[in-house]
Homo-oligomer: A and B are copies of this chain.
Amino acid sequence: MQDRDRLLDCVERALGELPIDRVEPCGLYAPIRYILEDGGKRIRPLLCLMGADLYGGAPERALNAAVAVEVFHNFTLLHDDIMDQAELRRGRATVHRKWGESGAILSGDAMLILAYRILQDGAQAFGGADRLIELLRVFNRAAMEVCQGQQYDMDFETEARREVSLAEYVEMIRLKTSVLLAAALEMGAIVGGASAAERRALYEFGVDLGLAFQIQDDLLDTYGDERTFGKTIGGDIAVGKKTFLHITAMERATAAQREAIVARGEVGEKLSRVRGIYDALGVREAAEEAIGGYFDRALAALRQAHADPRRLTVLEEYAYSLMKRTK
């Protein structure tokens, strides 16, 4: 397995060399450069390159797949920020705050097209036209599922939708978050020359890793440390978002507790009130158990990926680092 930092360098360089620099019209491309240059952990492209490397394929051959997935992911962030009316993203003004909503919608559209363009341009490196079509199939399905996940996420937050089950929630985050991690891994594996069974194993690894990661994000939003989490603690409770914690609590709560969970209040008061109920109901432990369960399932799937054990270890270590766990 090649050094993670070297793979990250590849990704950053490729993102920096996209055919959107000094191209007119400026209003279309400046927002794309803006959102792509502000970093992020580049989890998806790294997983894609690692997926290719697992099977001995030179990871550079999967670079266009990795970059296409990252461009797609940032496109979803850009449009989600409009839908959520978010003001800030990674500490900077969101695209629609800076360029207006129309510009943000259009630049997002152009990013989605750009992702396909990048995939198309990679055909030769991937190993030919048939390979490209296999990648397109995986990418198209994941892309559509991400839209489905975002729709469920919006549906769940409407006034009319009072109850969301844990199963529905897990399905929503699977679609919204997990399938793109899974697709990135599978696309890398395709370029690397993996068998169908190996591809499936890596895909499952990605799905379960994504679920563990997202539920951990829910947990940290309520119980995390502001200095390391990077977002304000308690945001989900403040807006009453139906997270893993909220739904688990509502399932376990008495009628009185349920009322106390949804009652309005000053932010600090609401946070300590709701957290108190969560503590009483063992919600934190339930979340930790779910995270551990999905993470273990992810590792079990990874062991089915039949790659060189030494190479597998590096991907496994990356998974641990994403979960901020030690092996």
Residues of A participating in the B interface, judged by any CB pair closer than 8 Å: 24-25, 27-28, 79, 82-83, 101-103, 105-106, 108-110, 112-114, 116-117, 120, 123, 128-130, 132-133, 136-137, 140, 143-144, 147-148, 150-152, 154-155
Is B112's CB under 8 angstroms from A83's CB? no
Name the residue among A101, A105, A152 with the largest chain B CB count within 10 angstroms. A105
Is B103's CB under 8 angstroms from A117's CB? no
Give A188 Cβ to nearest chain B Cβ, in Å: 19
Of all chain B residues, which has the CB nearest A27?
A: B151
Give A25 Cβ to nearest chain B Cβ, in Å: 4
Is B83's CB under 8 angstroms from A147's CB? no
Q: How far is it, in angstroms, between the C-alpha of A129 and the C-alpha of B126 when the chains are bound?
A: 13
Give A300 Cβ to nearest chain B Cβ, in Å: 29
Of all chain B residues, which has the CB nearest A130?
A: B129
Residues of B within 8 A of A132 (CB): 129, 133
Is B136's CB under 8 angstroms from A106's CB? no
Is B106's CB under 8 angstroms from A83's CB? yes
Give A73 Cβ to nearest chain B Cβ, in Å: 13
Of all chain B residues, which has the CB nearest A75?
A: B109
Residues of B within 8 A of A116 (CB): 116, 136, 140, 143
Q: How far is it, in angstroms, between the C-alpha of A130 and the C-alpha of B130 when the chains are bound?
A: 8
**A-B pairs with lowest CB-CB distance, top 7:** A129-B129, A83-B102, A28-B151, A110-B147, A25-B151, A113-B143, A117-B140
- Extra contacts, 9 of them, besides A25-B152, A28-B148, A113-B144 (Cβ < 8 A), are A25-B155, A82-B101, A109-B109, A109-B147, A110-B148, A112-B113, A114-B144, A120-B140, A129-B130
